[in-house]
Amino acid sequence: MTFKKLLFVCMGNSCSSPMAEVIMQNLMVKTSLYWEVDSAGLRTWNTGRRPHKRCLQILREHGLRSDHFCRQFTVNDFRYFDYVVAMDESVYKELLLWGGENRGNDCEVLLLSSFGKNGLPAFIDSLSPTHKLKSFRSAYYQIKECCKQLILSQKVDIVKYELPSTEDDDLYYANKEQPKQDVVEGTLNQLPETSKHSGMFLLPTEIRSSGGVMSPSTDPSFSKTSMPAAACNQGTQRKLCQKCGQKFLAAL
């Protein structure tokens, strides 16, 4: 899987987006993906400040911390980051309007809540400094689940395979049917019988969520339910052995 640069964006960059930044960074460490992750806000309300105290408290409850200082989103972020991920629909629509010609050719604007289980939209509590700690706790788990699905939406192959030990084996298998390969047992959902020996397996579509990918023809006035289900799968395929595949999904 190729190196990616990802930016979470909300209105003030003090609650939901810094929380998502830390959650994704933690998942990056667990899965050894090592993407560059940052967060920003569309408004200047909190520029230069630390994230809200309730955000930091929830992160501490899960053994995490944030060194982030709030900053404002700039047009250069469209050119630098591969993915600009909106924390709610109002931010998503504003990013679509703001993007236009300012967006880099490789930049995609996504809505985090579109990365729900089974390809369905998820619900994420909107956060603000006026909300109680209970809302921040609920949002933490909702954001974490969507971040997991965002990772799984990339093309990840988990296979059990055998490598030839000599050049003679290479020549032998070149003229023979390829060795059978089985999906990691107990890790992925069952696949159709006809695909069990196809030699390459992707994560099933029910755990590879869709993302709201921006295109020039996108109408910024559409709602979440009418959003096209285009998969966020521009990265190269990652092939893992059985043991590494089990560790990858266990880490999520």
Torsion angle of the four alpha carbons 145, 150, 155, 157, in this order, in degrees rounded to the nearest 10: -20
Per the structure, the count of domains in the chain is 1
95: containing domain: 5-154+205-236
Is 214 contained in some domain? yes
State pTM to two decimals.
0.67
Q: Confidence band (pLDDT; 50, 70, 90) for 239?
A: low
Q: Is the pLDDT of residue 129 over 90?
A: no
Residue 246 lies in a domain: no
In this model, does residue 7 exceed pLDDT 80? yes
Predicted confidence at residue 105, as pLDDT, reads 66
- The answer to whether residue 177 sits within a structural domain is no
Distance CA 180, CA 162 (A): 9
Give the CATH number for residue 102. 3.40.50.2300
163 three-state secondary structure:
coil
Lowest mean pLDDT among 19-23, 33-37, 80-84, 142-146: 33-37
Within a domain: residue 59? yes
Q: Is residue 85 part of a domain?
A: yes
Position 138 in a domain:
yes
**Residue 184 placed within a domain:** no
Q: Is residue 22 part of a domain?
A: yes
Q: Return the minimum-mean-pLDDT range out of 73-82, 84-93, 103-112, 167-176.
A: 167-176
Is the pLDDT score of 161 beyond 60?
no
Strand 238-240 relative to strand 156-160, pairing: parallel
